Amino acid sequence: MLKVIEVVGTSAEGWEAAARAAVAEASRSLRHIESLEVRRCTAIVRQDQILEYRLHAKLTVRAEDDAEPSQAVEAAETILAEPMSGPGEDLAPLLERQIDEALEDMEPDARP
């Protein structure tokens, strides 16, 4: 299932930068952004100078499956259940390996 939301991106640099800003801001709270449809471009002008470019757009976001959060919890529980690190194994590489193994077990579409 796909969801469509409306966003406004702003930038002092131009409309392309405003589009990038809109996607960057949306990606802070949304996952699986698939497309951006530009609806309208406007600008704020003062004393014959463009101060701010505004891009009004629609973002298409793939809705998460109800099973997806539970798969992430299962992966985290698996990681936490394993011993932290053995003699001679640094914690960071161990955690990276454990995360990679948990991601391999997930369905390709459910991966973060």
Domains of the chain (ranges plus CATH)? Answer: 2-62 (3.30.1660.10), 67-110 (no CATH)
Spatial distance between the Cα atoms of 74 and 26, rounded to a whole number of angstroms: 27
pLDDT above 90: residue 100: no
Three-state secondary structure readout of 5-64: EEEEEEECCCHHHHHHHHHHHHCCCCCCEEEEEEEEEEEEEECCEEEEEEEEEEEEEECC
Per-residue pLDDT band for 31 (boundaries 50, 70, 90) equals: confident
Spatial distance between the Cα atoms of 82 and 102, rounded to a whole number of angstroms: 12
Spatial distance between the Cα atoms of 68 and 75, rounded to a whole number of angstroms: 11
- Looking at residues 24-29, what average pLDDT do you find? 90
Per-residue pLDDT band for 62 (boundaries 50, 70, 90) equals: confident
What Å distances lie between residue 74 and 48, 80, 103, 111, CA to CA?
A: 58, 10, 11, 13
